[in-house]
Amino acid sequence: MKPDLFQAPDYYLLDDLLTEEHKLVRDAARAWVKKEVSPIIEDYAQRAEFPTQIVKGLGEIGGFGPYIPVEYGGAGLDQISYGLIMQEIERGDSGVRSTSSVQSSLVMYPIWKYGNEEQRMKYLPKLATGEMIGCFGLTEPDFGSNPGGMVTNFKDKGDHYLLNGAKMWISNAPFADIAVVWAKDERGRIHGLIVERGMEGFTTPETHNKWSLRASATGELIFDNVKVPKENLLPNKSGLGAPLGCLDSARYGIAWGAIGAAMDCYDTALRYSKERIQFDKPIGAFQLQQKKLAEMITEITKAQLLTWRLGVLRNEGKATSAQISMAKRNNVDMALTIARDARQMLGGMGITGEYSIMRHMMNLESVVTYEGTHDIHLLITGMDVTGFPAFK
């Protein structure tokens, strides 16, 4: 793979809106990605392997629980810093950002928000350093966009719960130490349970042959009469709103992360367009290529503004789930379009692992589907503005 020469576009001088802390956090993550992710990621993606050696570093740059309070081992940062970290990590690879998002928003967040003090103290500090890795089990073979229909369930057996069912498409599952699993009780109400690797009847087979997010491990969670200690139930929130609250946090991070992938594709294509000569001119001197680049930087700038504003709203506790849906949907679609155009601009070279573009493009095919598909987020916006749910 080519050396990482990335230079971040900032067409509307958005750095002026950031605090010194935001810039420090962002620059540290950017430097870490250049040093630790860029040189190895293509190789790991080609081999369909997650680079476990970067886990400690991810913890050090605040990639695990950036907004979790410091007393639980988190970085205690605000939502803009969280977003900037996701942007930088996904600039390196969406699969690495997925590991970071899952750990932060889908494992640490529910333990912090819905767990009790013992659970927080037991799990959060180890999750923050990466000493412990978690995964989040919501999706099932027959319930993806409609998770409320889940059939995974647990029964109260007096001194423990008995868990049965299966989850699929679970990021980090093959190597996770714990899983936050969403399951129905005997009354059909959804609760979160912390299931630990090693519990009898709990297995995590890996999902192979992915063309996308190849540097992220994906798997199933199978529960065959798993005895879960009662103290592993998250006591402070139940119902579908509990997992959806986690998804709000993760989707917000994805909205920023997608900008990172788009920036990397744009930057690569821009540099290539100045170097590649055809018909005695750099291809960047042709109008058709300039149109692509001009549209890319316009869309990136719009996405940056949208996401920055959303971060301010989240810091103020005012961001709605529907606003987050809009940003996730818009920014991932924007990044995917940019990746496809950037790929074309590199001609044949665009399909090789010499450049990051094709990997971003393939990764984004998962990002546009997980955490609510492109269509589902559109329906959320549609419902928000009309008041009519069009899901059924």
Give the nearest distance from C-beta 207 to ligand FAD in angstroms: 8
Q: Does 254 bind ligand FAD (CB under 6 A)?
A: no
Dihedral angle computed from the Cα positions of residues 376, 378, 384 and 390, in that order, rounded to the nearest 10 degrees:
-60
- What mask, x for binding ligand FAD by CB under 6 A, covers residues 315 to 354? ----------------------------------------
Q: Judged by CB, which is closer to ligand FAD: 266, or 370?
A: 370
Q: Judged by CB, which is closer to ligand FAD: 137, or 257?
A: 137
Q: Which of 72, 82, 154, 370 binds ligand FAD (CB under 6 A)?
A: 370
Q: Which of 136, 154, 223, 272 binds ligand FAD (CB under 6 A)?
A: 136
Question: Taking CB under 6 A as the criterion, which residues in 151-170 touch ligand FAD?
Answer: 169-170
Kindly indicate which of the ranges 1-9, 132-140, 251-259, 298-306 contains the residues binding ligand FAD, using the contact rule CB under 6 A. Answer: 132-140
Q: Which of 79, 87, 171, 330 binds ligand FAD (CB under 6 A)?
A: 171
- What mask, x for binding ligand FAD by CB under 6 A, covers residues 84 to 103? ------------------x-
Cβ atoms of 296 and 342 closer than 8 Å: yes
Distance of CA 183 to the CA centre of its chain: 22
Q: Judged by CB, which is closer to ligand FAD: 48, or 269?
A: 48
Give the nearest distance from C-beta 354 to ligand FAD in angstroms: 25
Q: Judged by CB, which is closer to ligand FAD: 331, or 366?
A: 366
Kindly indicate which of the ranges 4-12, 131-139, 336-344, 380-388 contains the residues binding ligand FAD, using the contact rule CB under 6 A. Answer: 131-139
Q: Does 381 bind ligand FAD (CB under 6 A)?
A: no
Neighbour-count burial of 196, counting CB atoms closer than 10 A to its CB (0-12 exposed, 13-18 middle, 19+ buried): middle
Q: Which residue has the tokens 């230079």?
A: 7
Q: Using only C-alpha atoms, what is the Rg of the chain?
A: 21
Q: Judged by CB, which is closer to ligand FAD: 170, or 339?
A: 170
C-alpha–C-alpha distance, residues 32 and 26, integer Å: 10
- Out of 140, 220, 299, 371, which one is annotated catalytic? 371
Q: Judged by CB, which is closer to ligand FAD: 153, or 369?
A: 369
Give the nearest distance from C-beta 57 to ligand FAD in angstroms: 22
- Count interface residues toward ligand FAD (CB under 6 A): 22
Q: Is 371 a catalytic residue?
A: yes
C-alpha–C-alpha distance, residues 115 and 109, integer Å: 9
Q: Which of 333, 366, 368, 380 binds ligand FAD (CB under 6 A)?
A: 366
Q: Which of 5, 157, 241, 391 binds ligand FAD (CB under 6 A)?
A: 391
**Tokens at residue 87, please?**
């942007």
Catalytic residues: 371
Contacts with ligand FAD by CB under 6 A lie at 102, 135-139, 144-145, 169-171, 213, 218, 366, 369-371, 373, 375-376, 379, 391
